[in-house]
Amino acid sequence: MAEQIPFLFDIPTVTQLTDQIKSLLEKNFMDILVEGEASNVKQSANGHIYFTLKDSGAQLPCVIWRSTAQRLGIQLTDGQQIVVGGDIQVYAPHGRYQMIVTLVQQAGIGKLQQAFEELKAKLKAEGLFEDIHKRALPKFPQTIGVVTSKTTAAFQDIRSTLEKRWPLAKVKLYHASVQGINAAPEIVKGIEYFSREKNVDLVIISRGGGSLEDLWPFNEEAVARAVFECELPLISAVGHEVDFSISDFVADLRAATPTQAAVLATPDINEVRMNLEDLYRRVELNTKGMVQYYKDRVGALARSHALLAVQQKMAQARANIKNMKDRISHRTSLQINERRTALTSLLHRLDKQDPNEPLEKGFVRVWQDGKWIRQAGSFTEKAPVELQWKDKRIEI
């Protein structure tokens, strides 16, 4: 210290000084509004919400008491551009000042436009918009998760489009506000729910047209991060054709409108019907074609020369066999006849050889000693003789 502090009787204590600051600040900054970005949002065990409102040059600690948070239904996430209303309070024991927040609103349009460009540049630099992160959509989704407000036209558009185009689908709706300060945290919860449960084939986040302020939740960093982290294919459909939101850039696919989201998410049932008909026709055509082909081939073979030649050979062979059979039977019967004739003549000749025949004509046979005496040399004189006639034998 170069100079000695002048001696004074009324030097305040820290408490006195802080009390002066407190009354000065609290009187002058009562019921004020301030705009900035919410960061470091935390909820204490008692349910109070602590956060820091910041911009590029300064930070302001803020608290929303639990009762206020509940009454206003306030939910906050990091990165939200907001206007808060309330009173500056100095907390003497810590020598700190902070804002007791009684009102939270979305930031004004100027601030939002600036924040939009900044966040877009930041996320783009981080690579969140890159094509390599884009997931392919399922061709025939069975279940579709939709994060939107059930009371909006956007949901009705999605619903009626799905009814027409792809009624096979089952829709799981995660109802979330799509406008106002609570919207971003609710949309994030919806995306996280589907990503965690994996009970759908793809997710659509959507809302209808509106002002930049209305569409703002879809430009919040928290929503962009949730879309990026989502483990299912996700379509972002926010506002009208001309509106682009940060979620559109991060999503796997951007749809210009809620209706278009439903169109992009699903095949057209009429096209599928026609495709199915075509497939069936091809099944039928090919099978019938093949059967016909084989029929024709069998027919052609039946009429082929080779087969005809075989048939002719077989006919020839059959004729030969018949011929030979005929000849065999002819010869056999011929031989039988010959033998029969021979036999007859033999019998006839046998008839003629009958030794009794001469007796019939009156000749006499001479017997001696039981023997037929056929010549004079065999005759024994003076021995008894037996004469045989046709009708009688007499011994002399």
Partner 1 sequence: MTENERPSFEEALKELESIVERLEDAEITLEESVELYEKGLELSKFCNEILEKAELRIEQVNEAQE
Label residues 300-318 b or e (16+ Cβ within 10 Å = b).
Answer: eeeeeeeeeeeeeeeeeee
Which span sits near partner 1 by CB under 8 A: 63-71, 230-238, 278-286, 345-353? 278-286
Q: State yes or no: residue 290 binds partner 1 (CB under 8 A).
A: yes
**Long-range Cβ contact pairs of 87-95 (< 8 A, separation 24 or more):** 87/26, 87/29, 87/30, 87/31, 87/32, 88/25, 88/26, 88/29, 88/30, 88/32, 89/26, 90/18, 90/21, 90/22, 90/25, 90/26, 92/15, 92/18, 92/19, 92/22, 95/14, 95/18
108, 127, 167, 384: which one binds partner 1 (CB under 8 A)? 167
| Cβ neighbours of residue 233 closer than 8 Å, sequence gap 6 or more | 135, 136, 137, 138, 201, 202, 203, 252, 253
Instruction: At 229, give phi and psi (nearest 5°).
Output: -80, -15
Using the rule CB under 8 A, is 287 a contact of partner 1?
yes
Among 173, 256, 359, 366, binds partner 1 (CB under 8 A): 173
Identified binder of partner 1 from the candidate list 198, 240, 273, 322, rule CB under 8 A = 273
According to the binding rule CB under 8 A, does residue 170 interact with partner 1?
yes
How far apart CA 168 and CA 141 sit, in angstroms, is 8
258 binds partner 1 (CB under 8 A): no
Other beta carbons within 10 Å of 277:
10
Work out how close the CB of 305 gets to partner 1 at its nearest, in angstroms, rounded to a whole number: 25
**Least Å from the CB of residue 224 to partner 1:** 21
String marking each residue 83-122 x if it binds partner 1 according to CB under 8 A: ----------------------------------------
Residue 72 binds to partner 1 (criterion: CB under 8 A): no
Token pair 């004469």: residue: 387
Cα 228 from chain centroid (whole Å): 26
Pick the closer one to partner 1 by CB: 150 or 318. Answer: 150
| 264 makes contact with partner 1 (CB under 8 A) | no
Amino acid code (one letter) for 41: V
β-bridge pairing 59-64 and 49-54: antiparallel
- Residue 272 in the binding site for partner 1 (CB under 8 A): yes
* # binding residues, partner 1 (CB under 8 A): 42
Binding residue (CB under 8 A) for partner 1 from 121, 283, 301, 307: 283
Among 39, 102, 105, 143, binds partner 1 (CB under 8 A): 143
Q: Which is nearer to partner 1, 48 or 172 (CB)?
A: 172
Query: Which of 74, 101, 181, 186 is in the footprint of partner 1 by CB under 8 A?
Result: 186
Q: Does 301 sit near partner 1 (CB under 8 A)?
A: no
Choice between 50 and 193, CB closer to partner 1: 193
Tally of helices (H runs) and strands (E runs) in the chain: 12, 14
Inter-residue contact 182 to 74 (CB < 8 Å): yes
| Residue range at the interface with partner 1 (CB under 8 A); choices 98-106, 124-132, 183-191, 234-242 | 183-191
Q: Which helix (H) or strand (E) holds 303?
A: none
Hey, is 2 helix, strand or coil?
coil
Q: How far is CA 333 from the centre of its chain?
A: 85
Tokens of 270: 């009429």
Name the minimum Å distance from CB 122 to partner 1: 30
Q: Please report how close the Cβ of residue 49 comes to partner 1 at its closest, in angstroms.
A: 17
Residue 215 and residue 154: Cα distance in Å, rounded? 13
Instruction: Looking at residues 198 to 237 of the shown chain, list those that interact with partner 1 (rule: CB under 8 A).
Output: 199
Q: Which is nearer to partner 1, 291 or 319 (CB)?
A: 291
Asked if 169 interacts with partner 1 (CB under 8 A), we say yes
Can residue 190 be called a binding residue for partner 1 (CB under 8 A)? yes
| Footprint of partner 1 (CB under 8 A) | 138-140, 142-143, 145, 150, 159, 162-163, 166-177, 186, 189-190, 193, 199, 269, 272-273, 275-276, 279-280, 282-284, 286-287, 290-291, 294
